[in-house]
Structure 1
Amino acid sequence: MVASRSQVADVAANAFRRSCLMARISTKEELRRIIAEPRPATRVKILDSLDEQSIEFLKRCPFALVGTTSADGTVEVSPKGDEPGFIRVEDPKTLLIPERVGNNLAFGLNNILDTGEIGIIALVPATGETLRISGTAEIHDDPELVASLSSLGKPALLATRVRIKHCYFHCARSIVRAKLWDPKAWPAPGRISFGKIIAPRIGESEAVAAQIDANVEGAYTTRLWQNT
């Protein structure tokens, strides 16, 4: 009997799935057969508190990616951006991150309430190295504290206090490979249409999609500091 195309496709798909399972890395020993152990000098750079270079780096940092984990293990990463130095160094073991207006989903803040775990990658434009920080976090709303984290006359909504467990500079290889800070390598500017995402899912027309996009544009300009 000659196999049908669908049967052949099923056989091929099953074979592919089996090969994927066979190739899956499931132990640290298997991993280290491919990824060598780091040099001793690489481990030495991992610190339990900020040093002079990392403090100066944070003073110049206008943007960071903040990772958190929920009670069920779901990981979220949130972008945080503001004036350079917006991540305040309270002391070499402690940071303060201001919470500004945004989309109100508050996934990261909820995760901090769930687990208190946090990870940060801080970036400085035109600098290849990044600063990685891991630790625990708690949320504060003390009026004097959030006022001290004001930007352009606007106090922070909340303050996230980060207790550092470890921190270190990550080398620039990924930034160099991506040509992230090379303007000649950048694609043409683009814009995501939130209207195209939202309008069809609430049963609305293209006209409503355009209104949504116009509202988003306003949030980027005239309403940058408002939650509406």
Structure 2
Amino acid sequence: MHVIQTEAELRDVIGAEIPGLAEKNQPRLNEFAIDFIARSPFLVLSTADAEGRIDASPKGDGPGFVLVEDETHLVIPDRPGNRLAYGHHNILANPRVGVLFLLPGTPETLRVNGRASLTPEPELLERLAARGKPAVLAIRVEVEEVFFHCAKAFLRGRVWKPETWGERHQVSFGKMFAAQRNAPPETAEAIDAMVEADYRDNL
């Protein structure tokens, strides 16, 4: 298999950069980015450890759950989860992060790159409260680059077209665990019941 090794080889395949297009990348949040964040109920936070191993973690809550402090700082609340903390460990080792904001029904996305830090400041966690509970932790991002990504991927994938979704796929953590451990079906059922209870009671 031929592997591209240089930028020249890459450009031979994909073509030259469109003149002026990179000017859409801005060093701070403008009014359009702030408005998009205020409407967004979902994001993906990408992190990497000191050796470059990548993690991408979904974060979601009500529209506007991310706090915009100013043009160069935003804060992502961390809610109760599985406590594996892959992304948190990465941020401690390497603060560089990428954030992808999505808005249901809108094919364009917003991308924010910068440096993150973790804070347990009680007043900030209370500002980020949801469903009567303060955030567990806050991820503050110092913004370095912001830009909107075009709609082509979502249009090709017809992501927001319900008629293309097909039958809902049910993920069973219980069945996966049971298969890995050669456990009986009762174990799978018990684990799935625990997961459903956690979804119901621990958002």
Pick the TM interval, shorter chain: over 0.9
- TM-score of the superposed pair, with normalisation by structure 2: 0.97
Q: Which has the higher strand share?
A: 2
For residue 72 of structure 1, report the CA deviation from its aligned partner.
1.8
Q: Which residue of 2 aligns with 1:78?
A: 57
Residue deviations 1:63-102, cap 9 Å, x none? Answer: 0011000112110000000010111111111110000011
- For 1:66, which of 45, 50, 58 is the aligned residue? 45
For residue 191 of structure 1, report the CA deviation from its aligned partner.
1.0
For residue 199 of structure 1, report the CA deviation from its aligned partner.
2.2
CA distance in 2, matches of 1:147, 1:203: 44
- For 1:134, which of 109, 113, 118 is the aligned residue? 113
Gaps of at least 5 residues in structure 1 are: 1-19
CA distance in 2, matches of 1:155, 1:77: 24
Q: Which has the higher helix share?
A: 1
* One-letter amino acid of the counterpart of residue 160, structure 1: I
* One-letter amino acid of the counterpart of residue 162, structure 1: V
Q: Which residue of 2 aligns with 1:152?
A: 131
Q: Report which of the two structures shows the higher radius of gyration computed on alpha carbons.
A: 1
Identity percentage of aligned residues: 41
Q: Which moved more, 1:158-167 or 1:29-38?
A: 29-38
CA distance in 2, matches of 1:95, 1:47: 15
CA distance in 1, matches of 2:104, 2:180: 37
Residue deviations 1:154-191, cap 9 Å, x none? Answer: 10001000011101000000000000011111121111
CA distance in 2, matches of 1:84, 1:65: 15
* One-letter amino acid of the counterpart of residue 206, structure 1: P
CA distance in 1, matches of 2:16, 2:70: 32
For residue 204 of structure 1, report the CA deviation from its aligned partner.
2.5
RMSD: 1.1
Q: Which residue of 1 aligns with 2:188?
A: 209
CA distance in 1, matches of 2:68, 2:38: 8
